[in-house]
Amino acid sequence: MADEAIAATQTTDRYGVMGYPISHSRSPVIHRLFALQTGQKIQYELLQVSPEKLETAIRQFQRTGGKGLNITVPHKSEVVRLVDQISERAATAGAVNTLSFRGGEIHGDNTDGIGLLRDLAVNLGVTLEGANILILGAGGATRGIIGPLLEMQPESLRIANRSVTKAQILADHFSRSGPVTACQFNVVPVSKPYDLIINATSAGLTGETPPYPAKAISEDTFCYDLSYGLAPTPFSVWARECGAAQSVMGWGMLVEQAAESFNIWRGIRPETEPVLKQMNITA
Ligand code: ATR
């Protein structure tokens, strides 16, 4: 093997996650565990980057030989305009969480939706086909999961939000892909019980519990919070108090979206179950 080729195989490829703030991120731990499991030699950095420095920081990472980045709050929408190529699912979501630097170009993808689907359908055994789904919140997180959820052919998907206008805009945007409707929290129709309620508001980040529709929960309802924490989130506590069949936080989605990003970068999909166990998280 030529010297350059040997050097290339021995190089540790650089990845990282950019967000603001970022110190809480578990992505470095997850990717290190994936790398150990799959025998891949990578380095994964935590990069705190404020919005005004985002473009410079990404280009510098690319210029200095970085291979890929995860992009997290609050940069996921902004980064769309910086990519040279965008996957269909990222374009639909209007958000990018995975960048790959190849041949001088920046490729943008979004693994959040598939990460949620895998956690729900594979890890947690939730049936999405024919399900009645209620999503609370109508921001970027909701936009990213509607397309993938509709592909699973639910019977209905309702978006409830504090501001109904935002929910309606999303419902109109996705109405060609499936049965999506919008309403406000206080007028969520409950003629049929919901099989799945997903909290996609950011209210929990400030410890708030908005006037979520308690009547939408039945004893058969599975509740899922896209947020996660070491202590139960306000939504997951609320769902349990309302008598939900199960109330789960989004740790599984976090690990699944990371596995999809790892696969995009390294061409190998790690096992997620042992990593979730190693992180010692009780969902
Ligand atoms: P993200 O990218 O995390 O979705 P976002 O785009 O800022 O963040 O959206 C935040 C969502 O949480 C919105 O649906 C917001 O409701 P509004 O559209 O009415 O603003 C919702 N949200 C945040 N704080 C909330 C609160 N205290 N009560 C109810 N909804 C809240």
Distance 201 CA to ligand 1 centre (A): 5
- CB of 154 closer than 6 angstroms to any ligand 1 atom: no
Distance 159 CA to ligand 1 centre (A): 12
pLDDT tier, 6 (very low <50, low <70, confident <90, very high otherwise): very low
* Confidence (pTM): 0.93
From 162, 198, 206, 228, give the residue whose CB has the most ligand 1 atoms within 8 Å, as the site to mutate.
162
Same domain, 91 and 172: no
Is residue 101 one of the residues assigned to a domain? Answer: yes
Same domain, 118 and 218: yes
The minimum-distance atom of ligand 1 relative to the CA of 143 is: 4
Burial class (CB in 10 A: 0-12, 13-18, 19+), 14: middle
Same domain, 65 and 154: no
- CB of 137 closer than 6 angstroms to any ligand 1 atom: yes
Distance 107 CA to ligand 1 centre (A): 28
Is residue 169 one of the residues assigned to a domain? Answer: yes
Same domain, 245 and 259: no
* CATH assignment at residue 40: 3.40.50.10860
- CB of 19 closer than 6 angstroms to any ligand 1 atom: no
Same domain, 262 and 174: no
Helix then strand count (H, E) for the chain reads 10, 12
Alpha-helical regions (H) of 138-249: 140-151, 164-174, 234-241
Minimal-distance CA residue to ligand 1 atom 7: 139
Bridge partner residues of 42 (DSSP): 13
Give 165-171 contacts, CB < 8 A, sequence gap 24+: 166/138, 166/139, 167/138, 169/138, 170/138, 170/142, 170/143, 170/146
- Domain span at residue 195? 113-252
Using one digit for the tens of pLDDT, what is the confidence trace for 202-243?
998 888 889 999 999 999 999 999 999 889 999 999 999 999
Same domain, 172 and 41: no
Secondary-structure breakdown of the chain: helix, strand, coil percentages, each rounded to the nearest 5:
40, 20, 35
Distance 118 CA to ligand 1 centre (A): 24
From 185, 202, 212, give the residue whose CB has the most ligand 1 atoms within 8 Å, as the site to mutate.
202
Using one digit for the tens of pLDDT, what is the confidence trace for 165-212?
999 999 999 999 999 999 999 899 888 889 999 999 999 888 888 999
CB 75, CB 22: distance < 8 Å: no
1 pLDDT more than 50: no
CB 211, CB 184: distance < 8 Å: no
Same domain, 96 and 131: no
Q: Known catalytic residue: 76?
A: yes
Using one digit for the tens of pLDDT, what is the confidence trace for 27-76?
999 999 999 999 999 999 999 999 999 999 999 999 999 999 999 999 99
